[in-house]
Structure 1
Amino acid sequence: MRLVVLVVAGLLLVGCGQSEPPPEDPEVAFTVGDTEVSAKPYLYCDVQVQDCKRDNTAQVSLEVAPGTPVLVTVPDEVAKTPWSVVIQYKTGAGEQKAPETVATFAPGKATTFEALPPGAGAQLQTVEVKQAGAKLVRDDKGEPAAVSRGVWSAQIEAPAKP
């Protein structure tokens, strides 16, 4: 009986030493019409933005016609924190525009956003989701700004012309 108790106690100790596998990194969906792609983060950090990992292969590609919106859907894990959508595009006249934040959401306020380039004939080039971390820095105006904890990116290509 004593041996059985020792074996059970030993097994319990071994079981306590095993840890759960780390949770999967959240994925963000980018949808155009009937086409949906899921992106893993190409940058993902702990909440304090101290321990980060980068995966340059995580960016996804989508074929999107000029003037067509891209629906962004974030999981609850991202939606419960501040997050934003950044786009880069070319105008209908072909002028390259710098990346621009087009939406910012408070925790728990939204899980989707429709990213659309402004102006007739404008072509999206990049749609990114940025999840805020707990670390703050000063922006170019001296205001506190959150450092991105996670970044998901869809690279956009115009359809080939026939």
Structure 2
Amino acid sequence: MRVVAVLAVVVLAAGCSASEPPPEDPSVDFSADDRKVTAEPFLYCDVQVKDCKRDNTAQVKLEVAPGTPVLVSVPQEVAETPWSVVIQYRTAAGEQMPPETVATFPPNKSSTFEALPPGDGDQLQTVEVKQAGAKLVRDDKGEAAAVSRGVWSAQISPPAA
């Protein structure tokens, strides 16, 4: 009887130690005209933003003419959380503009956004998606702001002449 009990414990322990592989990190699509690129996160953390991994090679590139919007599509696991879109662009006059948050979505409100350059002839340079984590910090105005748990980025350039 004792051998059977020990064998049962060993079998149960072996079954418990076999773990499923962790889920893949979500990816985000950036598209313009008839071109689409898929970005893996260059920063992705657990929801508490304590365990993070970074992949500096994950930024994708997309050629887009000045004045052309970029469509952002996020998967369900991002859309069901707060997320935002940040752009950086150069004006038609050549002025470099700082990064600007152009959209913020509450959970389950949207899975797509069309990032538009603000003015005629403005050239998007970067379009980023930021997924909020559960960790909060104080911004420069003293207000609570969520720390990004995931960041996906597309570097935008005009088509080669």
Match of 1:87 in 2: 87
Per-residue CA deviation, residues 114-139 of structure 1 (Å, 9 max, x unaligned), is: 00110010000000000000111111
The answer as to 2:45 corresponding to 1:56 is no
Per-residue CA deviation, residues 75-128 of structure 1 (Å, 9 max, x unaligned), is: 010001000000000001110000000000000000000001100100000000
Matched to 1:61, the amino acid is: K
SS in 2 for 1:147: strand
Matched to 1:52, the amino acid is: C
CA distance in structure 1 between the partners assigned to 2:120 and 2:100 by the alignment: 17
**What is the Cα deviation at residue 7 of structure 1?**
6.0
**What is the Cα deviation at residue 47 of structure 1?**
0.6
SS in 1 for 2:77: helix
CA distance in structure 1 between the partners assigned to 2:116 and 2:107 by the alignment: 23
**What is the Cα deviation at residue 6 of structure 1?**
7.0
For the aligned residues, what is the CA RMSD?
1.7
SS in 2 for 1:62: strand
CA distance in structure 2 between the partners assigned to 1:53 and 1:110 by the alignment: 26
TM-score, reference length from structure 2: 0.94
The answer as to 2:115 corresponding to 1:115 is yes
CA distance in structure 2 between the partners assigned to 1:51 and 1:3 by the alignment: 42
Aligned residue runs from structure 1 range 22-101, under 5 A: 22-101=22-101
Match of 1:105 in 2: 105
Match of 2:127 in 1: 127
**What is the Cα deviation at residue 4 of structure 1?**
8.6
* Structure 1 residues not aligned, in runs of 5+: none
**What is the Cα deviation at residue 36 of structure 1?**
1.1
**What is the Cα deviation at residue 14 of structure 1?**
1.2
CA distance in structure 1 between the partners assigned to 2:7 and 2:37 by the alignment: 50
Q: Identity percentage over the alignment?
A: 74
* Structure 2 residues not aligned, in runs of 5+: none
SS in 2 for 1:16: helix
CA distance in structure 2 between the partners assigned to 1:38 and 1:137 by the alignment: 30
CA distance in structure 2 between the partners assigned to 1:34 and 1:92 by the alignment: 24
**What is the Cα deviation at residue 16 of structure 1?**
1.7
Match of 1:15 in 2: 15
